[in-house]
A and B are shown apart, each in its own frame.
Chain A
């Protein structure tokens, strides 16, 4: 198993550009989520999905869109990038949202800089 994969690893955008951060998992996990981590801070939840076709907002959803058309993929779209979105983005997945055993597996992260 490849686990949770994220592409790209690094990205530089100009203000106003749009892009999609890709996330995929091959563990047949129901639950997937996106976090951002600013320097020296903890992770903040952006959006999450409890299954294909179902998404919901986390703590900091503004400026981001998600969709979950398949179990494996959970892309994060930045509609119009702003410097405040400069951050490291982590995707995570777990077997079940409703289980107490909810070990989340994290991807290696995408480092995004918005100029």
Chain B
């Protein structure tokens, strides 16, 4: 079973920041938070991952709360091409990558 809870869908205006929340209240100390996205019917694409510190790369930022029970993926300037399903996944080293149902993000003009 997926260890995360995400909203089913969200909207965001083009050019604005998209903040996608994820709850993982049962996360254990050695488990990481991963984010993937799936555009239309393509294969999923890795975005970012983190353990306890906030992380940033060229695609997004990941903010993890101090108690690690939730996190937020931030797309700083959403574009129409960011319309996709976003998956938040909790995984320990040596564990399988188990997907939930994700959040469908619709970016509108």
Closest CB pairs A-B (n = 5): A106-B43, A103-B46, A43-B99, A42-B99, A42-B101
Interface of chain A, helix or strand or loop or mixed? loop
A106-B41 in contact given A44-B99, A45-B96, A59-B98 (Cβ < 8 Å): no
Total cross-chain contacts (CB, 8 A): 58
Interface size of B by Cβ–Cβ distance < 8 Å?
23
Other-chain contact of B98, A4, A45, A97, A103 (Cβ < 8 Å): A45
- A75 contacts chain B at the CB level, 8 A cutoff: no
Taking Cβ atoms with an 8 Å cutoff, the residues of A that contact B are 4, 33, 35, 41-45, 48, 58-59, 88, 90, 92, 97-109
Q: Are B96 and A100 in contact (CB under 8 A)?
A: no
Q: Are A48 and B96 in contact (CB under 8 A)?
A: yes
- B21 contacts chain A at the CB level, 8 A cutoff: no
- B54: min CB distance to chain A, Å: 16
Residues on A with C-beta less than 8 A from B97 are 33, 45, 92, 102, 104
A109-B87 in contact given A42-B100, A97-B94 (Cβ < 8 Å): no
Kindly report which residue of chain A lies nearest to residue B32, judged by CB atoms.
A100
Give 8 new A-B contacts, CB below 8 A, not counting A100-B32, A101-B49.
A45-B98, A90-B44, A92-B43, A92-B44, A102-B49, A102-B91, A102-B93, A108-B43
